[in-house]
Structure 1
């Protein structure tokens, strides 16, 4: 190897050794305890276990549904889903002065949905036992929805004919 090549190799090796020394000094300096000795703790990451996924049960695409259909769907267990109103007997139909008819498909043994639909006055039940919770002003009221038939709720079931907002739907087989 000629002198010029040997000098280049030595410069590269020297730079690498210097960079390694600086890195080592930074690592030791960052983990040095108050006594000045290295306090490097080793532990298995697997001992910590995986992180937790937190499900908030928020209704998928709720913002889009609110903007397009004026229906505020908050959260639920995934067993009561907004559906296209086709007249199918398995659908629950909610009637509102603001939205006309809104339909829900119910699946599973039981379901829960938190929502806000104003001015609800009637609900056609399906094969599930259903209960709805509604509010007018500060008063809350629950209604049992008849299976496979129409049930007067809210305004039509209120002696004073007040507007009620639908807040929750609960179903069970």
Structure 2
């Protein structure tokens, strides 16, 4: 019997506490005017913007100004590198920019860019293809692994200048 009374008292106390909480919430809601609700809604509707990855090359403007290389977009697996920083770099040779090196990582990679007057590419341990253009004519070249590949002017019967537009790699 004593246990039953204790349980009834505990249940009654819990119900009373719950009722008081509901009253406090209702009273607090009544204190807010409709203007406050619209202010809260406007702030909540604004929220932070979306982060959209456009795959634009980081610091491309600075690289263009300093080195004359236009780096456009990529997946981050082909990155401009200091030619003396590592041994397994892809080398692009250009009459306009001399030697330009790229570090390749991941299982696949791509980079769109513009390097004028490219005549040779030295591959690394990745399979690679380069897309080039002269005037309105586009050509693709397979780059030999760990060896020199003549591309552009050096692979063209007419010796025309070619601009490098894209590099694609795969492991």
TM-score under structure 1 normalisation? 0.72
For residues 18-167 of structure 1, what are the structure 2 equivalents within 5 Å?
Answer: 27=35, 52-86=50-84, 88-167=86-165
Separation of aligned partners in 2, 1:87 and 1:124: 16
Structure 1 residues 94-153: Cα deviation after superposition (integer angstroms, max 9, x where no partner)? 000000000000011111000000000000000000000000000110000000000000
Contact 1:89–1:148 (CA<8 Å) still a contact in 2?
A: no
Structure 1: 5+ residue stretches without partners: 1-23, 32-41
- Partner of 1:58, secondary structure, is coil
Q: Secondary structure at the match of 1:82?
A: strand
Match of residue 39 from structure 1: none
Gaps of 5+ in 2: 1-32
Counterparts of 1:154 and 1:88, CA distance in 2: 26
Higher helix share: 2
Aligned-residue offset at 1:89: 3.2
